[in-house]
Amino acid sequence: MSAAALELPSVEDALALGLTRAEYELVCEKQGRAPNQVELAMYSLLWSEHCAYKHSKKLLRTLPTEGRHVVMGPGENAGAVDVGGGLVCAFKVESHNHPSAVEPFQGAATGVGGILRDIFAIGARPIAVLDSLRFGEPGPAGGAGGSAQAGGAGTRARYLLDGAVAGIGHYGNSIGVPTVGGEVYFEAPYEHNCLVNAMALGLAPRERLVRSAAAGPGNALVLFGASTGRDGIGGASVLASAELDHDEQGAAAKRPTVQVGDPFEEKKLMECSLELLERGLIVSLQDLGAAGLTSSACEMASKGAVGIDLDVAAVPLREPDMQPFEIMVSESQERMLCVVEPADLDAVLALCAKWEVGGAAIGSVTDTGRMRVFADGELVGDMPVSALVDDCPLYDLRPEKPARPVYGAPAATAGVTIASAPRAILLALLSSPNLSSRRPLYEQYDSIVQSRTVRRPEQADAAVLALPDGGALAVSIDCNARRVAADPARGTIAAVLECAANLACVGAEPLGTTNNLNFGNPEKPHIAWQLTEAVRGLGEACRALQAPIVGGNVSLYNEGATGPIYPTPVIGMVGRLPDARRAGRLGFARAGDRIALAGPFSPTLPAGELAKLLGWELPDGLPELDLAAVAAAQAAVRGAVREGLLASAHDIAEGGLAVALAECCLAGGLGARVELGAEFWAAIPPVVPGPSGAPGAPGPELLAGALFGEAPGGFVLSGPAEALERLAESVPLLAIGEVGGAGLEIATGAQPIAATLDELAGAHGALAGLFG
Amino acid sequence: MRARVLIRPKAGILDPQGEAVQRALPALGFAGVSDVRVGRLVELDVEDPGQLESMCEKLLANPLVEDYEVVLEGSSGGG
Amino acid sequence: MRARVLIRPKAGILDPQGEAVQRALPALGFAGVSDVRVGRLVELDVEDPGQLESMCEKLLANPLVEDYEVVLEGSSGGG
Amino acid sequence: MRFGVLQFPGSCDDLDALAAARRVGEAELIWHARRDLGGAEAIVVPGGFSYGDYLRAGAIARFAPAMEAVIEFARAGGLVLGICNGFQVLCEARLLPGALLGNVNLRFTSRQVRLEVLDTGTAFTGACTPGASLSIPAKHSWGRYYADEPTLDALEARGQVLLRYAPGENFNGSLRDIAGVRNERGNVFGLMPHPEHAVDELLGGSADGLRIFESMRLAAEGALA
Ligand SMILES: Nc1ncnc2c1ncn2[C@@H]1O[C@H](COP(=O)(O)OP(=O)(O)O)[C@@H](O)[C@H]1O
Ligand SMILES: [Mg+2]
C-alpha cells in the first residue's frame, strides 16, 4: 500500500466520523489492524444509523412481511406486490429530511431522484410519486416568502415549503413521472426538523424483476450515469445521522456537501437501466444512494456472498484530484451499478453510450468475500464484506414511557373557542393550514403524465392509476402525527387505518404497505418508547388488514434544541380495484342523492384539529378502538364502491364530520342539507371530556365533538336511498341528509351551520397565501 | 445607481445546464469550448449600493450553492 | 480564453422574476430599489472568441426576446 | 394515415401522444438522432423536457437531426403539431412565430383549462364544433406566449391564432390569451395545453383533445385523396 494509505487515521478521526470508541475497536478487531483512511471512511458510513439500522433493525424484524400478494419483501431496494395480469407493483417511501432542511429545493429534488432509482433498480418503470411533508407553523398567510433569513413567524416554514414543493415538482415533472398524491402538515415540533418523505411506485412484468445480489466471480462491475464529484461527501454520516446543528457555523461548514439533482440525467439513466434489463444484459442492478459506491458495492457483494475488487481510477470524475476515499463515499446523484457477464460488457457499454450515460467497468466480482479497493492498481483498502455489512453492532432500545408530556400545548389560534358558533368553527378549520385545500401544492406537480391517472388530487381520497387489464391501482400516503404523539401505538394504527379507508373509498383492497419511521433520538428512553409502540401498532394494524410491510425506511435523530419532532411513522399503502371505471369519488355528484354517515364512529376532540386551534394540550393516550369493526366497515364501503352503488365516498378524518361534509360539497360543486336528529345523537356518541349535555340539547363540547371530533372508522357516503339502505345491512349506517342547495346546511338540534359554497371555497383556499 | 449581480454555481457544485450547453455546442459546429457554467444575472437600480452584499446573501443568490459578484455601473471589473 | 455572456430580457418585455425580486426586497428591509431585471449568465472557455457572437445568435440567447452582451476576460466593460 | 411522434431523450409525453395518435390512425416513434421521418404523413413534436430543457426550453432540441428532417417536412407542406415542449421547439426552430417565456406566476402549473377555438376550418381544428370550447389540461412553467405587437396584430389579422384561453384561464400570462398558433401556410401548429391528455373520459373526464388529432387525420387524408 502507498505511504498515504498507510498514514493511519486516529481514533479521534473515527469519533468525528460518527463511530463510537467501541465500534472503532471492533473495526480494528475485524481488520486485525487499525483501518486506513479509505477503510475507516467506508466502515463509518456502513456502520452509520442510516445504513446499518443500528437502533431499529430488531424492531423491524417484528413486522409482518408476508402475504399472498407479496412478491418481494424488505431487503431489496423496493418491495413489490402482485397486481394481476402478470404485473407487479414495486413501491417504497424514503426520507430526505436533513438535506431538505439545509437546502429545501435540492434536498427534496434529490429525494425524489433517490426513491425513483430504488424503483427502477429492481426493474420496474416508475409510474407515480407521492410526497409527505412536515414543516413548522407557517404563520399568517401573505408574508414575504423566498428567503430563509427574513425574520417573522413562519418565515422558515414557508421558505422550506416553497423550496421543497418546487424541488419535488422540478424532479418529478422533468423526468415524466406523475406526482399523484401526498400530504402536508404544519406543526411546531417540525420547526427545526422538517420532514420530506417521498414515495414512488413502479410497474414491471413479474419476470423482469431483478435483485441486487452480485454473482459470478469474474463478472464485471459497471458504474453508469453521472460522473462522480465531491457532492455530499460525508453526507450519510454527517448530514443524515447526526442531530442538526443550527448555528451559522455549522450550516456554513456543511455547504459544500449540497447535492444537486439532474432529472434529465436520471431520465436517461432510467431508460438505459430498463433497456439493459429488457435485453437481458445484466446479472444484477443497484442504485447509488446514501454512502454512494461504498454502500452499493458492499450491499451487492454481501447479498451475493461474494467479494468485489474495484479500482477508483476507473471511476469517471467530475472534479480533479479526488482522493480514493472521496470517490468511495461521494453521493453524486444519478448513478447506478450493475454486474455484467464479460461477454455482454461491450453491449452494455454501447447501450450506455446510446443513452449518453457514461458507463465504465470499474471492477469485478471475486470469490474472496473481501471488498478490495485499488487506486490505479495499488491496493488502498481491503476489508471483509461481512464485517462491513453484517457486523455493525445492533443496539437494544431502552424504552420508557415519559412521565411528563414531551410536547407543549400548541399556541391557540385566535378567533374561535369551544363555544363559538359551529359555522365559525367550521370556517376556521377549513382555512387552517392543515385542512385547507392542497391545490397550491399539487398544481405544481404534473399528475397526469403517462396517461394512467384516473383520479387526480382532490377528486378522491386515494390516487387511482389505471392498469392495462382494466383494473386499477390505488395509493395513499398518510400519517396524523399529532395522534401518534398522543398515543404512539393507537396513533400509528389510526394512520394505517386512514390509508386503508382512503383505498376503500375508491374501491380498492390493500395489497401491501410501506413505511417511513421518522423519529427523534432513539437513545433517549421516551423516543425509544415512541418508536417501540409505533412499530407495535404498525404490525398490529397491517396484520389485521392483511396489508403486509414490503419495505420502508427509518430516519432517526430528528431533533434539535427545541426537542424532538412528533413521532411520524409515515404510511404508504397500495391497493387494487377490479374496474377502473368504478373508482370512487369524494365529491357529491347528484342533487337528490341521500347522504349517510357509515361505520363505527366515536369522535373525540382531544388530539384533533379543533383541539389544536383551541390550544389544547395533547391527551395522554387515545380511546380504545375496535380494529376488526373498522376493517369490516372498510370492507363494506369498498364492496359498495366496487358495485357502483355509491355516487361518492369520503372517509372522515381531520376536522371530523362537518369538515368531511364540506369537502364533499366542494369537490362536487354541490350543496347539502344535513340534519343531526335524535337518531344521530343516540347512535353516535361523541367521546367528550367532562360532562356532556343531554340528547336533543347538546352542550357546546358535545356539539363540537359530534361535528368536529375525529376518530377512525367513519365515512360520508352519498347515493340513491335504496343503495344506502342495502349497505346498512352490512355496516352501521345513518341517513343524515340530502345533496342539493346552494351551500352546506347542518341542523344540529342546537346552533345550526349554514355556509354557501363560495364561503366554504374561500376558507378552503387559504393555503395559496403561503406561497409568495 | 445601476448595479449588476453575477450569480454562478459554486465551484464543485454540479451544473447540469452548463454541461448541457457544453455537450450541445460541438454539434452546432463550435469546437474548442470548455468549462461552461450557466448562472443568473440580476440588474437593478439601487440608491444605497452598500446594501447589495446583504441583498445577495438574503435574496438574490442562494449562498449554499451559488457564488455572486457585484459590479457597479462605471466600475470596471466585469471581465 | 474565458468569456462571459450576459443575457437579459429585451426592454419592454415583462419580466415577472424581476418584478418578484423587486416586490420581495422592501419586506426584507431594502428600500430604494427599482427597475430590477433578471437574466442569464453564461461563462465559458473558448479557443476562438470570434465564434461567440454566432453562438449567442444560434443557441445561448433567443434574439427575439433577449439581448446579449459578450465580455472577454481582461477587457473592461462589465459595469 | 401515419403519424410520427418525435422522441428526445427527455421527452415525457411522447408515449401519451403516440397513444392519442393511434386512436385516429397509425403512429410510430421517431428517435431524435434519426435523420429521416420513416414515411410519416404528419409529425407530432411531443411534450416533456427534450434535452433537459436546460438554457431555454427547446433551445437545444431544435438542432436535433430529426428536427432538421421536420423542418424540411414542414417546408414541403407536411402537417406538424407541437405540444407544450414541442411548441417551444417549433418556435425556437422558427417554424412558428413568437416565443414562450416563463409563466407570470413563476411556477410550474398543472391545471385543466378551457380553450376557445377561433377557427374550425383548419387542418388542426377541422373536427371541432364551431363555437364550442375544449377542456384540456395544461402543465408547464414556460408557457407565456410572446410576440411583438405588430406580429400579434398580423397573426390575428391572418387568423393564425387558433386557440385562446377562455376568460380567467390564462395562468401563464400569454399575450392576448393565445394558447395555440399556426404558421402562415397553415401546416404547422403549436399549443401549450396537452390534447393528448384529453382523449379518454376515464382519465380526467374529457376527450376534447381527440378533435385535434382527428382534424389532422381528416386534413391529411383529404390532401392525399
Ligand atoms: N421501516 C421499515 N420497514 C420495513 N422495511 C424497512 C424499513 N426501513 C428500511 N427497510 C428496508 O431495509 C432495506 C434497506 O433500506 P435502505 O437502506 O433505505 O435501502 P436503500 O439504500 O435501497 O434506499 C430496504 O429493503 C428497506 O425496504
Ligand atoms: Mg437502493
Q: Each residue of B11-53: pLDDT tens digit?
A: 888 899 999 999 999 989 999 999 999 999 999 999 999 999 9
Do D176 and D161 contact (CB within 8 A), yes or no?
A: yes
Of the residues D50, D94, D148, the best mutation for testing chain C's interface (the one with the most C CB atoms within 10 Å of its CB) is D148
∠ CA A308-A117-A210, rounded to 5°: 60
A65 CA: nearest ligand 1 atom: 4
Do D21 and D5 contact (CB within 8 A), yes or no?
A: yes
Q: Is D12 left (phi over 0), alpha (psi -120 to 50) or beta?
A: alpha
Put simply, whether B22 touches A (Cβ < 8 Å) is no
Put simply, whether D63 touches B (Cβ < 8 Å) is yes
Do A468 and A87 contact (CB within 8 A), yes or no?
A: yes
For cell 429534488, name the residue: A109
According to the model, what pLDDT value does residue A277 have? 95
Put simply, whether C64 touches A (Cβ < 8 Å) is no
- Say if the Cβ atoms of B59 and A318 lie within 8 Å: no
Taking contacts as CB-CB distances below 8 angstroms, the residues of chain B near A356 are 23
Q: Is D197 a catalytic residue?
A: no
The Cβ of residue A443 has, within 10 Å, a number of other Cβ atoms equal to: 22
Q: What is the pLDDT of residues D70-111, one digit of tens each?
A: 999 999 999 999 999 999 999 999 999 999 999 999 999 999
**Helix (H) / strand (E) containing A516:** strand A509-518
Q: What is the pLDDT of residues A331-374, one digit of tens each?
A: 999 999 999 999 999 999 999 999 999 999 999 999 999 999 99
Name the residue type at position D100: L
Taking contacts as CB-CB distances below 8 angstroms, the residues of chain D near C14 are 101, 104, 173
- D contact chains, 3+ CB pairs < 8 A: A, B, C
Put simply, whether C62 touches D (Cβ < 8 Å) is yes
Put simply, whether B16 touches C (Cβ < 8 Å) is no
What pLDDT band is residue B77 in, cutting at 50, 70 and 90? Answer: very low
Q: Residue D224 corresponds to which cell in the numbers above? A: 392525399
- Say if the Cβ atoms of C13 and D104 lie within 8 Å: no
According to the model, what pLDDT value does residue A689 have? 56
According to the model, what pLDDT value does residue A13 have? 86
- CA torsion B9-B15-B20-B21 (nearest 10°) is 20
Q: Is D196 a catalytic residue?
A: yes
- Say if the Cβ atoms of D54 and B16 lie within 8 Å: yes
* Residues 592-621 in A contacting C (C-alpha not used; CB under 8 Å): none
Q: Is A55 a catalytic residue?
A: no
- Say if the Cβ atoms of D52 and A175 lie within 8 Å: no
Q: Residue D198 corresponds to which cell in the numbers above? A: 384529453
How much distance in Å is there from the Cα of A554 to the middle of ligand 2? 13
Task: Give the integer Cα–Cα distance in Å for A200 and A748.
Answer: 43
- In angstroms, the first-to-last Cα distance of chain A is 57
Put simply, whether A231 touches B (Cβ < 8 Å) is yes
Mean pLDDT of all residues belonging to chain A: 92
According to the model, what pLDDT value does residue A240 have? 33
According to the model, what pLDDT value does residue A530 have? 98
pLDDT over 80 (residue A257): no
User: Going by CA atoms, what residue is nearest to atom 18 of ligand 1?
Assistant: A553
Among the ranges given (A148-157, A297-306, A439-448), the one the predictor scored with the smallest mean pLDDT: A148-157
- In angstroms, the first-to-last Cα distance of chain C is 20
Show the ligand 1 pocket: residues with CB < 6 angstroms: A 60, 63, 74-77, 92, 94, 118, 289, 515, 517, 549, 551-554
- CA torsion A616-A619-A624-A628 (nearest 10°) is 60
What pLDDT band is residue A244 in, cutting at 50, 70 and 90? Answer: very low
Question: What is A380-421 written as a DSSP string?
Answer: EEEEEHHHHHH-SPP--------SS-SSPPPPPPTT--TTS-
Taking contacts as CB-CB distances below 8 angstroms, the residues of chain B near C75 are 79
Q: Which residue of B has its CA nearest to D33?
A: B27
Q: Which of A69, A96, A526, A764 is catalytic?
A: A96
Q: Residue A437 corresponds to which cell in the numbers above? A: 385545500
pLDDT over 60 (residue A5): no
pLDDT over 80 (residue C37): yes
According to the model, what pLDDT value does residue A44 have? 93
User: Going by CA atoms, what residue is nearest to atom 19 of ligand 1?
Assistant: A77
Cite the beta strand spans of D107-213 per DSSP E: 109-117, 133-140, 144-146, 161-165, 178-182, 188-191
How much distance in Å is there from the Cα of A537 to the middle of ligand 1? 19
pLDDT over 50 (residue A251): no
Distance from CA of C5 to the nearest CA of D (A): 13
According to the model, what pLDDT value does residue B76 have? 52
According to the model, what pLDDT value does residue D54 have? 86
Put simply, whether C41 touches D (Cβ < 8 Å) is no
Distance from CA of C41 to the nearest CA of A (A): 19
Q: Which residue from A583, A545, A276, A309 is spatially nearest to A456, judged by alpha carbons?
A: A583
According to the model, what pLDDT value does residue D88 have? 97
- Whole-complex ipTM: 0.93
How much distance in Å is there from the Cα of A449 to the middle of ligand 2? 25
- Say if the Cβ atoms of B65 and A150 lie within 8 Å: no
- Say if the Cβ atoms of A174 and D12 lie within 8 Å: yes
Do A141 and A769 contact (CB within 8 A), yes or no?
A: yes
Taking contacts as CB-CB distances below 8 angstroms, the residues of chain A near D107 are 166, 443-444, 771
Do A614 and A409 contact (CB within 8 A), yes or no?
A: no
Q: What percent of chain A is modeled with pLDDT above 70?
A: 93
Do B36 and C44 contact (CB within 8 A), yes or no?
A: yes
Average pLDDT over residues A281-308: 94
Q: What is the pLDDT of residues A648-677, one digit of tens each?
A: 999 999 999 999 999 999 999 999 999 999
According to the model, what pLDDT value does residue A321 have? 85
User: Going by CA atoms, what residue is nearest to atom 25 of ligand 1?
Assistant: A75
What pLDDT band is residue A9 in, cutting at 50, 70 and 90? Answer: confident
How much distance in Å is there from the Cα of A288 to the middle of ligand 2? 7
- Say if the Cβ atoms of C62 and D60 lie within 8 Å: no
Alpha helix segments (H runs only) across A128-197:
155-175
Q: Residue A60 corresponds to which cell in the numbers above? A: 423491524
**Helix (H) / strand (E) containing A375:** strand A370-375
According to the model, what pLDDT value does residue A692 have? 42
- Say if the Cβ atoms of B45 and C39 lie within 8 Å: no
User: Going by CA atoms, what residue is nearest to atom 3 of ligand 1?
Assistant: A552
Distance from CA of D216 to the nearest CA of C (A): 30
